[in-house]
Structure 1
Amino acid sequence: MNPKMSSPKVGFLYPGYAAEDDYPRLGKMVNPNVDVELIITEFNEDAHTVEALSEMGSNRRIVDGTKHLVGKGVQSVLWTSTSASFVRGLEGIKEQIATLEEQLNVPASTTALAFVRAAKAIGAKRVALAATYPEDVALLFKVLLESFDIEVIQFASKGIITAAEVGTLQKDEVGNLAVENDCPDADALFIPDTALHSAEWIEDLEEAVQKPVLTANQVSFWEALRLTGQFTPQKGLGTLFKQELPKEGELDVIKS
């Protein structure tokens, strides 16, 4: 970012409490710092099931969350749940983005789509997927990735039902998840759950598997910052943050 420019301000709608503290932490890890507006959204049930996640990511929940960002001056906004986006399929993701943009009149995205764009940005075409979710939910993310020609060559699901439990996993457990579910032939390792802490461990995870690692909170923050138009390469947050953005248009992965 140009030091003469004011620090960007980004908004995140985050369902419940698990690893929400990663976002202000990420805001302080980049230079210059990014001002983070984090809104906790409500839902009926903390469960990694299609029914619960679909309700969690419904337009009603998103609209309710955006009300708390009106007038806050955010320059971009993210619906910050991977699973409560991809369970609704690509059309549901498009609807979530349209709702965010209509309510706040700023560029918007979701974590699920951020993974797709981040994969394109680092040139990852064949990936290993280490999911915390139950298998049926994790498979829906695999389907989404493959619809964008991102081949999942290694697939694992940890089978954790609640985001609250995922949020308790410590560095060694996350490291084991990465190492045990990597694949030598994969271009990158994906760990797709915003309930999982990762902000301070990405460099260690990449060192452990010797390849780029994309985590949900990392790609969400990257996407939000990218959408402000004020991204420049950063150290300490993995391969994704170290490189220049692709040429304009190369990350336009969906059509309106």
Structure 2
Amino acid sequence: MTQNNQLIKVGFLYPGYAAEDDYPLLGQMVSPKVDVKLIHTKFNEDAHTVEALSEMGSPQRIKEGTKALVGTGIQSVLWTSTSASFVLGLEGIKKQIATLEASLQVPASTTALAFIRAAKTIGAKRVAIAATYPEDIALLFKTFLESFDIEVLQYSSKGIITAAEVGTLQKEEVLRFAVDNDCPGADAVFIPDTALHSAAWIEELEQLLQKPVLTANQVSFWEALRLTGQFTPQKRLGTLFKKSCS
């Protein structure tokens, strides 16, 4: 993943503080390493509610965040909040991407769309969702996936309101949560919250479940690399990273 022997640089806008350390870790886990530029964006309230998430993911907040990435040499950029994207629907996501691309003049995407593209890449048509969100937000993610013809066999709700609390969950709890919310007919398990740490445990998750696992920070990083046009298959980050990108 190099261009003229230059390190790939990718940008991420990340609301608040929770599991943002996954991104520089992911940059170190691939070969060759990737330069990660991560900017924390502002919002009015840390809450998994439609109102709070809609404000968090508004074009105004995204545009504010892009200012710190201007001139950094990034080759792609991601809005990395799954829920502060899918709650806005596809038209809202298109506005988020348009805001990113107009501000930074590089290819852009969101974590929500990254899940859709990643699912297609690994051939996941029937999935289980292990969501840390409250029930209504988990249901909205289910509906979002179904709008792209992904069948959701089972979905869970851990009922956590704030991203900050999700970020405190430790390895054993994350592994157990994934195992408890798998189901036999699912092609893959989706873990959609970017506030949840997962980067260091993806291979272990897949070994436990014996199937692909897609986590929010994993698919965000993959999508950023895919958009640069310089992705090459990797060994340490699960089934998704072993596949060639089209």
Shorter-chain TM-score bucket reads over 0.9
Q: Is the 2:2–2:8 contact (alpha carbons within 8 Å) kept by the matching residues of 1?
A: no
After the TM superposition, which segments of 4 or more aligned residues of structure 1 sit over 6 Å from their partners?
A: none
- Paired-residue identity, %: 79
Partner in structure 2 of residue 106 of structure 1? 106
Alpha-carbon RMSD across the aligned residues, in angstroms, is: 0.9
Q: Which letter maps to 2:141?
A: F
Is 1:25–2:25 an aligned residue pair?
yes
Offset at residue 244 of structure 1 (A): 1.1
Q: Is the 1:3–1:32 contact (alpha carbons within 8 Å) kept by the matching residues of 2?
A: no
Give unmatched runs, 5+ long, in structure 1.
247-256
String of CA shifts for 1:172-203, please: whole Å, max 9, x gaps. Answer: 00001100000110000000000000000000
Partner in structure 2 of residue 94 of structure 1? 94
Q: Is the 1:48–1:162 contact (alpha carbons within 8 Å) kept by the matching residues of 2?
A: yes
Partner in structure 1 of residue 186 of structure 2? 186
Offset at residue 5 of structure 1 (A): 3.5
Question: What is the correspondence of 1:157-196 to structure 2 with a 5 Å cutoff?
Answer: 157-196=157-196
Offset at residue 37 of structure 1 (A): 0.4
Tell me, in whole angstroms, the C-alpha distance in 2 between the residues paired with 1:240 and 1:7.
22
Tell me, in whole angstroms, the C-alpha distance in 2 between the residues paired with 1:5 and 1:209.
38
String of CA shifts for 1:128-180, please: whole Å, max 9, x gaps. Answer: 00100001011111111101001101111100000000000000000011000
Paired residues, number: 246
Q: Which letter maps to 1:73?
A: G
Q: Which letter maps to 1:194?
A: T
Q: Which letter maps to 1:113?
A: L
Partner in structure 1 of residue 199 of structure 2? 199
Is 1:128–2:137 an aligned residue pair?
no
Is 1:73–2:73 an aligned residue pair?
yes
Q: TM-score, normalization: structure 1?
A: 0.95
Q: Is the 2:77–2:100 contact (alpha carbons within 8 Å) kept by the matching residues of 1?
A: yes
* Structure 2 counterpart SS, 1:53: helix
Tell me, in whole angstroms, the C-alpha distance in 2 between the residues paired with 1:122 and 1:90.
22
Q: TM-score, normalization: structure 2?
A: 0.98
Partner in structure 1 of residue 140 of structure 2? 140
Tell me, in whole angstroms, the C-alpha distance in 2 between the residues paired with 1:6 and 1:124.
34
Partner in structure 1 of residue 232 of structure 2? 232
Give unmatched runs, 5+ long, in structure 2.
none
Partner in structure 2 of residue 51 of structure 1? 51
String of CA shifts for 1:100-136, please: whole Å, max 9, x gaps. Answer: 0000000000000000000000000000001000010
Offset at residue 243 of structure 1 (A): 1.4
String of CA shifts for 1:6-39, please: whole Å, max 9, x gaps. Answer: 2210000000000000000100000000000000
